[in-house]
Structure 1
């Protein structure tokens, strides 16, 4: 009986750890999407990439307005209609344009720009609202 109890405790602990380690799926908010592409000045520099991603991650952790928060890099999909020249992409979603307007002025966003703007040579933004 003691052995069965130990096995149950081990199975319970493993399932608990697995459920805690599984990332939660973010619900995509289709009301307002803010897509940003960054071209770093020195994309081959590990130091610049690390500094940029650290600042971007800190910003996203502290943003009070963004819902979906996605950082990506080119998928290297070689097709004529695909632009793989950027260094990083950022996709954020908001429940409305008004909330996105607040995000533009929030301290976390402004700090990210201040910390990182010297690292990029180009930024391109595409904002869109969902079709109802």
Structure 2
């Protein structure tokens, strides 16, 4: 049985994957230029202070620093889009990140990387909830 949240996450990941080739970091790309990444790491953040522009800006800045991690092939940082309101759209989060990796090993390197650990240390006080969806291409 597929839940609405699972369906939404899968749909969001598919849409992001379709556009990710435009965001590839040239020197970090190990496959063909038009090849989609193998592993997508999509993280949704809910801010403790959702009305604070400063908190949102600090979180976004912290996320963007993660692009410097050598195994990150591409990054997309976003906020909920002002798209049509539908029952299947969950726009309750405040900031999202989509990171692309060649493989699970690349994502494992990211998880223990000093820049990722510094991000968590510096920014974790900003969020009240985090949801992660990792998908591997089949």
Distance 1:88 1:63 in 2: 20
Aligned length in residues: 107
Instruction: Tell me which residue corresponds to 2:81.
Output: 75
Instruction: Tell me which residue corresponds to 1:51.
Output: 58
Q: Does residue 91 of structure 2 align to residue 84 of structure 1?
A: yes
Matched ranges for 1:1-132 at <5 A = 25-27=22-24, 29-60=36-67, 62-77=68-83, 78-131=85-138
Relative to the length of structure 1, the TM-score reads: 0.75
Distance 1:55 1:80 in 2: 31
Distance 1:47 1:26 in 2: 26
Long gaps (5+) in structure 2: 1-20, 25-34
Alignment RMSD (CA, Å):
1.6
The answer to whether the 8 A contact 1:29-1:94 is kept is: no
What is the Cα deviation at residue 122 of structure 1? 0.4
Distance 2:116 2:74 in 1: 15
The answer to whether the 8 A contact 2:45-2:94 is kept is: yes
